Structure 1
Amino acid sequence: MSEFARPSALAPFRIRNYRFQWPADLLTSWAFEMETLILGWYVLVETGSVLLLTLFASLNFIGTLIAPMFGVVGDRIGHRDLLALMRATYAVLATTLMTLAFTGTLKPGYVFIIVALMGLVRPSDLGVRGALVATIMPHDQLIGAISISRTTMDTARIAGALSGAGLFAALGMGPAYVAIVSLYVVSTLLTLCVIAPSKPHPVDEVASQAIRRSPMRDLKEGIAYVWTTPRMRAAIWIAFLANLTAYPLSNGLLPYIARDIYGTNQTGLGYLSASFAVGSLAGSIALSVVGGVRVARLMIGATALWYALLLVFAQLQSMPAAMACLMVVGFAQSLAMISIAVILMRTASAHFRGRVMGVRMLAIYSLPIGLLAAGSLISEIGFVATASLYAATGLLLMLFITLHWRADLWHIHAPANAR
């Protein structure tokens, strides 16, 4: 067989642990998407304010500031146990919202409080699940495993968005939240079925002393580890930039775009969100079956295409055209984000993976900043000008990052481009 023969897209499922983690991640992602769509529409309708909508979306990511500490905890107690605890927390908070909805006491203020609490934990979910995948999968199957793992978020934006919008429109918030709570509970149970070391086992006195060290020292070492590795630092900067200038346009602002730009309802919002996800799913599947990819070059090309397509999206006034454009946008962002994850996980030592992914999640903190700034700018200069400014700025800064680290990202023999 050729060295670069195409791997099987289903190869990761030969690993028992992956057969439990993948559906657990899938159900969690579905619940995330349903909640985001339902609560975003609720806040927009109840308050009528795009600024409060961006505040709501920003609260989902306030935990990015403490995401590196989740990485430290995961490296200490085990990523499986931490992930299960996080998902049990989602279930408890969703149950609270469900109860308020059924009793008729739900108000926007309560939504903001509960979303803020969930936002402390939720941003770290992607990083912890990525570290767990890297722990349970053989090195030669890592690209395929991460790509297939990414499909959990992609399918969630399709099924979760459409089912969430449908349930909310047909039955109301209470019944929709029954489904969300059920998804969180089942995902917690499936996560507990993963058999992985609950915590690192010291193999010598040095490792034993490391476990007893201060968590803050571990955190500083993790940040220093990323900062002193050029390809990892470049990947983190691109992730930071994408969250600041790209994701606000295809994520948190979608309820506003659906209602105020295209004049549609929550079902139309579901279609827009699902269109992005269809493209993202296609990108994840494509990368899972293609071998011999120069990952860093793929990251650069996909990110540039992502921004170019957002410039086009900003000008569109037709709902069908916007849906078609969002599909291609989703495809490009999927390739870019998977490439970043692969670069980080391939580079990180096993005992640093949690902290590396924690630093990666810290980059998401730029998303609430970008959302809040976009909310203010839209009120002043309008959506088209704001979206165009974001996409053009992102593209220019991404090209600057590429030029600055071209030896580590573009050179064909650079470690980040190893096949």
Structure 2
Amino acid sequence: MLLVFRNARFRLLWISVIINYVGLMTYFTVHGWLALTVSDSAFWVGATAGVSGLGLMGCSVVSGVLVDRLNRKKLIIAAQLAQATMALTLAVLIFTDQVVLWHVMLVAFLDGTFMAIKIPSRFALVLDVAGRENLLKGTAANFAAMTMMGIAIPPLAGYIVGAHDIAWAYVMMSSAFVVSAIVLAFLSGVTPIVRARISSPLQDLKQGFRYAITTPQVRALLLLTLTSEAFGWAHETMLPVMAGKVLEAGPQGLGYLLSAGSAGALVSTLTMSSMGDIKNKGRVLIVGYMGFGFFLIMFSQSPWLPLSMLLIGLAYASVAVYETTVSTLLQTSVPDEMRGRVLSLQSLTWGFTGASGFHTGAIAALVGAPLAISIGGGMLILNGLRMVRGIASRFQEAQVEPATGD
């Protein structure tokens, strides 16, 4: 975390990231709750997250080409202003009592498309500003910003929903995205990557897919991320149902669960940001991956809110270790001119978190949200056991040299 205070440019980027996460954490807290309020259905809560995932996956296919060709700072600012406009529009619809389910789902889809642009742009910008030698610390600091806001914002958003009107949460969301964009606009020295050769966007897209598929290190990391999103993070779509229907804790309880999870993740990210480089990153990957699945199973079976908060905190502590390491390995395993396209494929896998809402919501509607979450956690444990030896040996070196692109 000392990187934040020593590097003035990274400090400015980090402040923008923190403010952005105020808006993002507000969205994660209230949008699923709004879907539950409008529909009173676990399936439609999952489906709302599902269409967001479809937007993220669909736009991720081409966003990497944009990130490698255009100014990353300007891409983030444009996406944030678009998200601010959507949030404010939805607030007006709620204030005027005109909001219906398709409004909620449309905003979810559009939010996913803009997230597909923001995610690879922001991760690539962290390396641009922090430097390759400080990437692990920079990535951990980025995750720390997310988790700190994840602790503070969900209870506040839950209070706003419970005590006032959910529309005010969307006003707060819109304001945060605008302020974050303004702060980021002051970041200097951000220019597009100088490309070794000129090619068409379609050629760039094909090259990115070919590189990811034919490079064993990158392929293994993306496949591991895909399974954690499709099965582990699928629980996220059911948190409103767990809080409202299982734990009977209301929107405030949902805020407490999200805050507890972020607190666990913050402990992990702060610990990793203060550590030296880790020699066997593959072993760290697998421990965090399987720990995530184990604690999700425990969380799904808890009948009490305090115990559920503890268990979700342990689950998020595990996954923060895993995700920080994955992001670091992906960026250090690829050449600079391919980084945007590879990171966009990572954000494509994140789209499976939302898209998993379709099958998780359907399972929850049939057998209940706890069993649906347990199934996902069990899949992570089984897959981790299957991959443990190969992943641990492949990434046991302290630094993986970037594989050469075509």
Indicate whether the TM-score tops 0.5.
yes
Preserved contact between residue 60 and residue 123 of structure 1 (Cα < 8 Å): no
- 2:357 and 2:94 mapped to 1: Cα distance? 27
Q: TM-score by structure 1 length?
A: 0.90
- 1:366 and 1:31 mapped to 2: Cα distance? 21
Determine which of 258, 275, 278 is the counterpart of 2:263: 278
Question: What aligned pairs does 1:264-303 form with structure 2 within 5 A after superposition?
Answer: 264-294=249-279, 295-303=281-289
Q: Which residue of 2 aligns with 1:102?
A: 95
Preserved contact between residue 68 and residue 361 of structure 1 (Cα < 8 Å): no
Q: Which residue of 1 aligns with 2:58?
A: 65
Q: Which residue of 2 aligns with 1:159?
A: 152
Code of the residue aligned with 2:107 in structure 1: it is: I
Q: Which residue of 1 aligns with 2:326?
A: 340
Q: Which residue of 2 aligns with 1:129?
A: 122
Which consecutive unaligned segments of at least 5 residues does structure 2 have? 402-406
Secondary structure of the 2:249 match is coil
Code of the residue aligned with 1:178 in structure 2: it is: V
Preserved contact between residue 286 and residue 392 of structure 2 (Cα < 8 Å): no
Change (3 A) 1:177 1:380: closer
Change (3 A) 1:60 1:27: farther
Which consecutive unaligned segments of at least 5 residues does structure 1 have? 1-8
After TM superposition, give the deviation of residue 224 of structure 1 in Å. Answer: 1.8
Preserved contact between residue 157 and residue 273 of structure 1 (Cα < 8 Å): yes
- 1:405 and 1:184 mapped to 2: Cα distance? 38
Determine which of 39, 58, 82 is the counterpart of 2:31: 39
After TM superposition, give the deviation of residue 170 of structure 1 in Å. Answer: 2.2
Secondary structure of the 2:237 match is coil
Which sits farther off after the overlay, 11-20 or 47-56? Answer: 11-20
Preserved contact between residue 137 and residue 272 of structure 2 (Cα < 8 Å): yes
Determine which of 150, 160, 171 is the counterpart of 2:164: 171
Q: Which residue of 2 aligns with 1:5?
A: none
After TM superposition, give the deviation of residue 412 of structure 1 in Å. Answer: 5.1
Code of the residue aligned with 2:168 in structure 1: it is: P
Code of the residue aligned with 1:143 in structure 2: it is: L
- 1:168 and 1:217 mapped to 2: Cα distance? 47
Q: Which residue of 2 aligns with 1:82?
A: 75
Change (3 A) 1:135 1:68: farther
Change (3 A) 1:279 1:17: same
Q: Which residue of 1 aligns with 2:404?
A: none
Q: TM-score by structure 2 length?
A: 0.93
Determine which of 218, 240, 251 is the counterpart of 1:232: 218
Q: Which residue of 2 aligns with 1:415?
A: 400
After TM superposition, give the deviation of residue 348 of structure 1 in Å. Answer: 1.5
Q: Which residue of 2 aligns with 1:22?
A: 14
Q: Which residue of 2 aligns with 1:143?
A: 136
Q: How many residues align?
A: 399
1:187 aligns with 2:173: no
Q: Which residue of 1 aligns with 2:189?
A: 196
Q: RMSD over aligned Cα, in angstroms?
A: 1.8
- 1:168 and 1:413 mapped to 2: Cα distance? 46
Preserved contact between residue 68 and residue 358 of structure 1 (Cα < 8 Å): yes
- 2:382 and 2:393 mapped to 1: Cα distance? 19
Code of the residue aligned with 1:291 in structure 2: it is: G
After TM superposition, give the deviation of residue 375 of structure 1 in Å. Answer: 1.2
Q: Among all aligned residue pairs of Structure 1 and Structure 2, give the percentage whose two residues are the same amino acid.
A: 21
Preserved contact between residue 49 and residue 355 of structure 2 (Cα < 8 Å): no
Deviations 1:206-243 (A, max 9, x none): x3x42xx2212111111222222222211111110110
Code of the residue aligned with 1:366 in structure 2: it is: F
Secondary structure of the 1:253 match is helix
Code of the residue aligned with 1:164 in structure 2: it is: A
After TM superposition, give the deviation of residue 413 of structure 1 in Å. Answer: 7.3
Which sits farther off after the overlay, 381-390 or 303-312? Answer: 381-390
- 1:119 and 1:214 mapped to 2: Cα distance? 26
